Amino acid sequence: MLKNFTAILAISFLAVPMAQAEKVHLAVASNFTGPAKQLAETFQRTSGHKAVLSFGSTGKLYAQIIHGAPFDIFLAADAERPSRLVFDGLALEESLFTYAVGRLALYSPTLRTSTALRNKLESGDFQRLAIANPKTAPYGLAAEELLGNLKINTKGKLVFGENIAQTYQFVASGNADLGLVAAAQLKASDSAGWMVPETLHAPIRQQAVLLNRGKDNPAARAFLAFLRSDPAGKMIRSFGYGLGEG
């Protein structure tokens, strides 16, 4: 079933005349802002379709979708919420796949080496540590798990970003000493950071799913086919993500 669906997507991407160009509306997790903008630009140039992007925390986007927000595709920062949408009959199961595997990174504009950053975190010698809200942002959940595994005392020191983009801004603006952010954000801003070992938290498997609203939209199917393509994979890897196998 999945192979057949993938084949249909590929045909959709390759055989769309410019005269039939349409729009696809995507709900995109904040950590994927940089890659999504680059992918959308390339997709529009090669297919003629237009990708309209809306960014936010995975939890908030999920809430918007279940309340009827007009999205065709959901690019989440986890696997849980896309699966919930499938279970609830709001998305197509055969369209589910892991488009990226995220990395967590520790960032401070005043510390330039990974050793200094890790030592600062593990010593507890900081006033404010920014993480994304673990209730709505998968990167925040991973950060919470990391802090627990390292037994870091953060009582009274945590600052919560609504999403990973706001979390990064807390640190970049000096409102937090340190921040656990997406590695892709550091790549995009050419900033140094400590790449958190993936053994210290559960994998951040970011899944895409075609929503019911987009099932008859050629632009939506074309975008998913493009997202699975080798050129798209190269763009995604260039931001520091791994690629999933399905």
Sheet holding 104-107, edge to edge: 158-161, 129-132, 178-182, 104-107, 194-195
Residue 58 annotated as part of some ligand binding site: yes
Burial annotation 37-52 (CB, 10 A radius, 16+ → b, else e): ebbbebbbeebbbebe
Residue 226 structure tokens = 């493009």
The phi-psi region of residue 145 (left if phi > 0; otherwise alpha if psi is between -120 and 50; otherwise beta) is: alpha
Structure tokens at 66: 């279940």
pLDDT for residue 19: 45
Count of H-run helices and E-run strands, the chain: 10, 10
DSSP 242: B
Percentage, residues of the chain above pLDDT 70: 91
Q: How confident is the model at residue 245 (pLDDT cuts 50, 70, 90)?
A: low
Q: How many whole angstroms separate alpha carbon 226 and alpha carbon 159? A: 37
98 is in an annotated binding site: no
Sign of CA dihedral 236, 242, 243, 244: negative
pLDDT of residue 155: 94
| Assigned fold of 2-101+204-238 | D-Maltodextrin-Binding Protein; domain 2 (3.40.190)
Element (H, E) at 5: helix 2-14
Tell me, what's the pLDDT at 7?
47
pTM above 0.85, yes or no: yes
Q: State the CATH architecture for 104-195.
A: 3-Layer(aba) Sandwich (3.40)
**pLDDT tens digits for range 27-68:** 999 999 999 999 999 999 999 999 999 999 999 999 999 999
Distance CA 30, CA 212 (A): 22
Is residue 160 within a helix (H) or strand (E), and if so which, with residue range?
strand 158-161
Ramachandran region of residue 124, left (φ > 0), alpha (ψ -120 to 50) or beta?
left
Average pLDDT, the chain: 92
Q: Which residues make beta-bridge pairs with 50?
A: 23
**Per-residue pLDDT tens digits for 4-18:** 555 445 444 544 444
Q: What is the pLDDT of residue 3?
A: 52
- Order of strands, sheet of 50-56, starting from the edge strand that comes earlier in the sequence: 50-56, 23-29, 73-75, 204-210, 97-102
Query: 89 with 162: CB under 8 angstroms?
Result: no
Summarised one tens digit per residue, pLDDT across range 113-139 is 999 999 999 999 999 999 999 999 999
Establish whether domains 2-101+204-238 and 104-195 are of one fold.
yes
Structural domain boundaries in the chain: 2-101+204-238, 104-195
pLDDT at residue 220, rounded to an integer? 98
